[in-house]
Each structure stands twice: as structure tokens, then as C-alpha cells.
Structure 1
Amino acid sequence: MTASVSYWVLRVADVDKAADFYREVFDWSFSEKGSGGGYHVLGSNPQGGIGPLRSAHADNSLAFEPDDIDVAIERIRSRGGTAEEPGGSSEHGRWVECADDQGTRFALYAPVE
């Protein structure tokens, strides 16, 4: 059996603040806030969203592939997030551990072309 990601959710403490952060970093747009208190990211592939924390700890393991990883790092830092220095290119590409301005962890990935 195989499985692919079909939907992802970033669990955050403040969904409105997170929507502002990711709108500025990745130019995302969002649906109206849903009954569960979160937003659907319009046009994402696979589909995904931002939702409220359901426990004291969020454990997201998501990597986003921006058009330009260096621009994304700059945007993350300028919006109050953190991005480690990108490692050298590996045979699979560049991976950068990041966190948004609320401490929600995610990564950036730039595959080898």
C-alpha cells in the first residue's frame, strides 16, 4: 500500500496571526474562516490549511517548496520567524528548518533541478 499527502494542517496558537504571517511569506490567500476556527489555503497542492491547536503541543512535519528558497528565508526572518542557515546542497536538494512568528515549526525544501 502507498499513501500520499492529501491534506495538511498547520496547528497554531493564533490562526489570524498565522494567516498574516504566511500571506506575507508565501503570498498565500485563504478561504473565509471555517466553523472549526481555521482557514483553507486557496490553491495549495496538496490541499491544506491553518487550524487552531488541539493540544498544548503541535508537531508539524511539513516542508514547503518556494519559488526561491533564499527569498523565502528573508521573508520569514523579516516577519519575525526563524530560519536556520541553509545547508549545502545535497544530492536531493537544500533543506532549511524554520519556525513562524508563533514558533510553529516547518521546513523549506529546494530539490535538485
Structure 2
Amino acid sequence: MTAFDAGAPCWVDLTVPDLEAGKRFYGELFGWTFEAGAAESGHYTPALKDGKNVAALAPAEGGDPAGWNLYFATPDAEALSRRIGEAGGKVTAGPSAVADAGTLLVATDPGGASFGAWQPGTRTGFEAQGAPGSFFWPEIYTRDKDAVDPFYESVFGFTGQQISEGTEFDFKLWFLPGAQQPVAGRLQMGPFIPVEVPAHALVYFSVEDTDLTVAKVRELGGSVSREPSDSPFGRSALVADDQGARFAVMGPVANGG
């Protein structure tokens, strides 16, 4: 059973209006297979890559739009809930036990982005990450960095490293205490992102070839809001599935050899 440090991203799931359509899209895009979602658990449907748990899909309720959800690990959901409130966030669900699997809470940060936290029981989170077809990286997209940065740094103990500032690209990396590698990023949404795009957690998935993946997204009825481009971290693109859930993909840089 994989252990996750407090504050590390440990799980992602997708709420989607049409569960079967979601399974078709991501099954063809990433090669995922799916366990049966039990009725007593709201048809929460684990997604597997090469037999390992990498995500889950769940039916959206009450006409909610499709969207990916990000969860951070916590050893104490009750204490985390208190810190969220004290730091200016709002707990919107939980903490609540999910049978013996663990304890879940869902919250919003001061900028309005939703995120979750998971206190493990018999399930800790990802069984695989970083490999093609699995979770790679998260970013918090916000329009209020002045409130959001101290919130996450207080609640999870992150230390921050500002990478770039300005209206075009204002980006910060977050590190767990004492860690050398970042666990998440924060992007201040500027004029290059339409005003109707709300604050949210953006989830990246690793892929073998970003350009081929983007072509497959289009073939499956999805859309592309940022075409593939190279960066020091790899070649990425921002896309949405055929029900409108935004996510990103990251692969090796073009002509990386």
C-alpha cells in the first residue's frame, strides 16, 4: 500500500453527466479499464491502467457540469478542516468516512477553486502515477493569488517558489517541507484565459506523445484550448473531453533526442 506525505496529491476523480460516455472517452484515450461501480457507492467507478488504480469516474448529480477533482493526502481530516476554515477557505462536504476506505472532505479555497482531501484507511490513493496514462501533475488556477498563496502554504505547509510574474504568465511552484521536488503549481489566470473560466484545479496526465494524444482527443469529440507546446518540463496541451471536463496532458518534448 503506497503511503503519501501530508499535502501530496494522492487521488483524482471525474464527475461526469454520462458515465458510460466518460468510460468510452478515457478508455480509448488512455487505455483505461474500469471496475464495476456499485450502486451503494453511487456507481463510483475505479479506473485502472495496467491493472493499477489511477483515477475514478462518478455520475454528476443535479445537473452539475463535468469536471476533474484533485485530492491531497492528510493524516487528520478533522484537523485539516479546521485549518481550512481558519485560513479563509470553506469546507463544502465532510469530513466523512467512506466505509473503511478512508475519510473524505471537499473544500474551496479563497479564490473559489474546489479541492479535496483524503485521510487513508484501506485505500491510500494512486497505485501508479507519472507513467503514461496516469496522473502527472496538478495546478491551481486562480484569479486571486494574494489570497490563495498564503491559504495553501498555511493549510498544507507548502513552501513556494515564484517562477514568473506578470500579466502573461504568473506562476508559482509549491514544495512540501524539506522536499527538493515540487508537488503542485499555482497559475494566476490573466487576460489570456476567458473570464468565464472559473478558478479550478487543473489535472495533468502523462502521455507517450502529446501531439498524438491531442489528435485522439479531437477524434473522440473533445476540444483543445491550448495546442501542444514545449517547456522545460515536457510537451503539454490543454484539452477537454467530449462532456467539457478540462484537463492537461504532458509528454516528452518534440524531437527530444
- Using structure 2 for the length normalisation, give the TM-score: 0.39
**In structure 2, what is the equivalent of residue 4 of structure 1?**
8
Map of 1:17-56 to 2, 5 A cutoff?
A: 17-35=21-39, 36-43=42-49, 47-54=54-61, 56=64
Given that 2:210 and 2:228 are in contact with CA atoms closer than 8 Å, whether structure 1 keeps it comes out as no
Structure 2 unmatched runs, 5+ = 69-201
The runs of 5 or more residues in structure 1 that have no matched partner are: none
How many equivalent pairs are there?
Answer: 112
Residue 63 of structure 1 deviates from its aligned partner by 0.7
Please give the per-residue CA displacement for 1:52-86, whole angstroms capped at 9, x wherever unaligned.
22462455321111111122111111010012311
Q: Is the 8 A contact 2:19 2:59 kept in 1?
A: yes
* Matched-pair contact (CA < 8 Å) for 1:8–1:46: no
Question: Of the two structures, which has the highest relative contact order with CA contacts closer than 8 Å and spacing of 6 or more?
Answer: 1
| Max Rg structure | 2
How many angstroms apart in 2 are the aligned matches of 1:18 and 1:2? Answer: 30
Distance 2:57 2:44 in 1: 5
Q: What is the match of residue 15 of structure 1?
A: 19
Q: CA RMSD in A?
A: 2.3
> Partners of 1:27 and 1:59 in 2: how far apart?
20
